[in-house]
Amino acid sequence: MTDIKIPKVQMIARNKLIIDKSNPNVMSDEDYDALKEVIKKFGFIVPIITNKDFLIADGFHRFKAARDLNIDPVPIISLDVDEIDRRLLRQILNKLHGTHKEDLDQEEFKFLDDSGAITELMNYLPNERNVIKNIIDNLKDNNEKVTSNDKNKVRQLYKQVVKCPKCGATFEKID
């Protein structure tokens, strides 16, 4: 078994962090405002990731939110990585995430709707608002979980398109 590093979170002055102006990750104003609201509600729960010189690898938008919310110092994880690994890490952390199972999302949305929290969820996820609303409306129309006959309606809401990095062709992702 290999030893897996578990880096420690440290608190540093926000002005020590260095912004990478070549960061390709962008966030809409609406998503950015939602990020700030999430931080206000739950706290600064995800540290900013930097190299040893405090050049940000992941967390630019959290850094910006900390600045706008006057949070100082900020939590970071500083890694002793070269520039290639810093950029690899940035790409990986910005893109590597799971996908949601439709039936479990439906159950979760129903629970949140029944609890009166679905509007709050939609406010925190402005780009997903229509998807969530359509699923909730469909559940209310059917007064039950979406049946297998209705899977195509829901699948359209979750439709993902994948672009080939070599030729640029697009394909519908099939689960």
- Residue 89 is part of a domain; what is its CATH number? 3.90.1530.10
Within a domain: 1: no
107 and 86 together in one domain: no
In the listed set 95, 111, 135, which residue is the last one of a domain according to the structure?
A: 95
Mean of the per-residue pLDDT values of the chain: 85
Within a domain: 34: yes
- Residue 92 and residue 25: Cα distance in Å, rounded? 12
More confident residue, 123 or 163: 123
21 and 86 together in one domain: yes
Report residue 53: phi and psi, to 5°.
-90, 5
Within a domain: 5: no
Within a domain: 57: yes
167 has a pLDDT exceeding 90: no
16 and 91 together in one domain: yes
72 and 32 together in one domain: yes
120 and 156 together in one domain: yes
91 and 18 together in one domain: yes
136 has a pLDDT exceeding 60: yes
Q: How far apart are the first and last CA of the chain?
A: 33
Task: Count how many domains the chain has.
Answer: 2
Q: 61: closest CA among 10, 88, 25?
A: 25
Q: 66: closest CA among 89, 91, 48, 90?
A: 48
Cis peptide before 126 (omega within 30 of 0): no
Within a domain: 15: yes
Model confidence over 53-93: pLDDT tens digits?
A: 999 999 999 999 999 999 999 999 999 999 999 999 999 99
What range does the domain containing 76 cover?
Answer: 10-95
Reported pTM:
0.75
63 and 46 together in one domain: yes
